[in-house]
Structure 1
Amino acid sequence: MRIVLVGPPGAGKGTQAAFLAKNLKIPHISTGDLFRANISKGTELGKQAKAFMDAGNLVPDEVTIGMAHDRMTQPDATNGFLLDGFPRNVSQAEALDESLKADGQKLDAVLDLEVPEDEVVKRIAGRRICRNDSSHVFHVTYSKPKTEGVCDVCGGELYQRGDDQEETVRKRLDVYHRETEPIIDHYKAQGLVVTISALGKVNEVTKRAMDALKGDK
């Protein structure tokens, strides 16, 4: 299957992408991984991306699209892939359509993870990270530390990242609504969108997604 995963920040796209890709036996292709891989390998596209990033500028669509196309044509993606974080806007979606068409391929589904805006803010603004190890993550509601402000694992101080603060989260949501959400209508016109609720436990959402992709909605 060739799938695009879409949803607002805090919808759990990264977590669900990993589980879905494993269940479907297809590679999980995320924009972040594409950038890191191309930059670390020193590819021509990676050098271009790094130059823009070092200058504090956004990486142009054509560079991102080039990386995505290169990754989608790798041997492990012959039977499909799951795109996470790409396309990010309608122009990228149109370019993806053309790229797949040129390769004699097409998308099978666009999985839309739906989460109420207040829940998104609650999920992200409630996160607390350990200063000693950023992999130690807690939540003021869903995964409280035993002692407030203290990491259960190493005793380090827990803090709220700047981009997790409510004002910043709402700005990120505004960007999502303005730039990314319109791709849902783009794909609805092609009959590709499958919308599921991303509320509940991780395994419940994964099952919901798998059932929807199989047509058991």
Structure 2
Amino acid sequence: MYNLILFGPPGSGKGTQAALLVKQYGFLHISTGDMFRFELKNNTPLGQEARAYMDRGDLVPDEVTIAMLRKRVEENPDVTGIIFDGFPRTDPQAEALNELMVELGSQINALILLDINQEEVINRILGRGATSGRADDLKVDTIRTRYENFINYTNPVYAYYDKMGLAHKIDGMQKIVQVAMAVDNIVAPKLED
């Protein structure tokens, strides 16, 4: 099983690149944001708990995120690979993800950071918000908070995987096809091993 972390601030193109990888390789795409939106839409207890954090642009507590992620991975034991999108965002989450992978007899193969600046993040998310109906995509202050949280909380996660020789950085400001080619140059050789 090939396990990839797609990493980057909101609006960096993680969902777009994940969709291309799912189509090309048949991976399971796990987006913590999508999982939380499902819970919010269905007004589940987890959704209600997460709503207060997400509305402020803050991170949902680790234990909530980790429990939800574990359930999703365990529901899909036979996939050829998993794309983790929006997770891990903290060192404890990175450690919990590595522990989960070990329990499943697997490992994280790569972390790919889609590097993009704050102004581009704001422009992309406001554009997405105009059509998505997502309230958190329409407030510039919330978008800035989400970007700043990404930078402040996740730099250690990149360093964590970089020490393991698994971290890669791609210029997320490029066109979608250029980013996709750079991602594939990292993923494809490992799948051939």
TM-score interval, normalised by the smaller of the two chains: 0.7 to 0.9
User: Quick check: 1:175 aligned with 2:176?
Assistant: no
After superposition, the Cα gap between the structure-2 partners of 1:199 and 1:104, relative to the gap in structure 1 and judged at 3 Å, is same
Number of aligned residue pairs: 183
- Corresponding residue for residue 185 of structure 1: 159
User: Quick check: 1:202 aligned with 2:176?
Assistant: yes
CA distance in 1, matches of 2:39, 2:141: 33
- Corresponding residue for residue 62 of structure 2: 61
- Corresponding residue for residue 19 of structure 1: 20
CA distance in 1, matches of 2:63, 2:121: 30
Q: Looking at CA atoms only, which structure, 1 or 2, has the larger radius of gyration?
A: 1
How many angstroms does 1:28 deviate by? 0.8
- Runs of 5+ unmatched residues, structure 1: 137-160
1:47-196 alignment to 2 at 5 Å?
47=45, 49-53=46-50, 56-57=52-53, 59-75=60-76, 77-125=78-126, 129=130, 134-135=131-132, 163-196=137-170
Q: Is the 8 A contact 1:196 1:212 kept in 2?
A: no
CA distance in 2, matches of 1:35, 1:167: 21
1:193-217 CA-to-partner distances (Å, cap 9, x unmatched) read 121111222222112211122359x
- Corresponding residue for residue 149 of structure 1: none
Name the SS of the counterpart of 2:106 in structure 1.
coil
How many angstroms does 1:14 deviate by? 1.3
Q: Is the 8 A contact 1:90 1:183 kept in 2?
A: yes
After superposition, the Cα gap between the structure-2 partners of 1:52 and 1:122, relative to the gap in structure 1 and judged at 3 Å, is closer
Give the alignment's TM-score, normalised by structure 1: 0.71
CA distance in 2, matches of 1:194, 1:71: 26
After superposition, the Cα gap between the structure-2 partners of 1:59 and 1:26, relative to the gap in structure 1 and judged at 3 Å, is same
Question: Identity over aligned residues, as a percent?
Answer: 36
Give the alignment's TM-score, normalised by structure 2: 0.78
How many angstroms does 1:63 deviate by? 2.3
**Relative contact order, CA 8 A, sep 6+: which one is greater?**
2
